[in-house]
Amino acid sequence: MLKDAIRHTTREMPVRDGWILDSLVKTETVIALPSVIATRELLQQAEGFDEGLVMCEDYDLWLRLAMLSQIDTVDEPLTMVRRHQAHFGDSATSFRDCIVTLDKVLVSGFAPHLESGLRRRRADMVARLAYSQAAAGQSVRALKTVVRSLAFSWKYATWWPRALTATARALIPPVALDLLRRYRGRRHMHRHRSLQ
């Protein structure tokens, strides 16, 4: 169960055991860091955490462990992880590290049956990265991210709306964005009043 204190949501995730690489790549299941017990030998074989990652280092390790071994699960709540504002990192860092992690699985060649899904997910993460860069005022970075990803992302329908929104956000002056937000806010208030 995932409790998100930021979005005020709770989400049940299915418990998987056996070979779970497919489920991890498709985000059909998640693994909380404090809930894992692994042998030293297996961790050494997977080469432990990638200390070059700021975020997603646990997801990266779970993917590598899932390539090496089946897992067993205990289907009862033993740990609780709460997401909140004080977590380390930002969305751009999270998206960037997730892209690195997905690329590692692609390059490994371990899961050719997941290649299409991995590439689609990477395209989605790249578009999200570009949008978060644009939202943070890093217009040049956002545009470079969109342009660099075009070669491998253009064929995925989910990439286009996010990439175009990121491009627009990077190119439209902040004053114009502020005016647009105000206009939308007034329209929303007007519509809300007329419904009462």
Cα distance from N-terminal residue to C-terminal residue, the chain: 38
Q: For residue 132, how many other CB atoms are within 10 A of its CB?
A: 22
Distance CA 87, CA 42 (A): 28
Which tokens is 22 given? 């497919």
Q: Residue 128's pLDDT is what? A: 95
User: Cβ distance 183 to 150 under 8 Å?
Assistant: no
DSSP 116-184: HHHHHHHHHHHHHHHHHHHHTT-HHHHHHHHHHHHHHHTT-TTHHHHHHHHHHHHHS-HHHHHHHHHHH
Q: Residue 186's pLDDT is what? A: 78
Tens digits of pLDDT across the chain (196 residues)? 555 555 666 666 677 888 988 888 888 877 877 788 899 999 999 999 999 998 889 999 999 999 999 988 887 777 776 666 666 678 889 899 999 999 999 999 888 999 999 999 999 999 999 999 999 999 999 999 999 999 999 999 999 999 999 999 999 887 787 787 788 777 767 676 766 6
Q: Residue 141's pLDDT is what? A: 96
| Phi-psi domain of 29 (left: phi exceeds 0; alpha: psi -120 through 50; beta: other) | beta
- Give long-range contacts, CB 8 A cutoff, 24+ apart: 136-142: 136/90, 136/92, 137/174, 138/92, 139/170, 139/171, 140/170, 142/166, 142/167, 142/169, 142/170
Q: Residue 87's pLDDT is what? A: 61
User: Cβ distance 9 to 89 under 8 Å?
Assistant: no
Distance CA 115, CA 118 (A): 5
Which tokens is 54 given? 């700021």
Q: Residue 12's pLDDT is what? A: 67
Backbone phi and psi for residue 3, each to the nearest 5 degrees, phi listed first: -110, 120
- Single-letter amino acid, residue 131: Y
Distance CA 190, CA 160 (A): 31
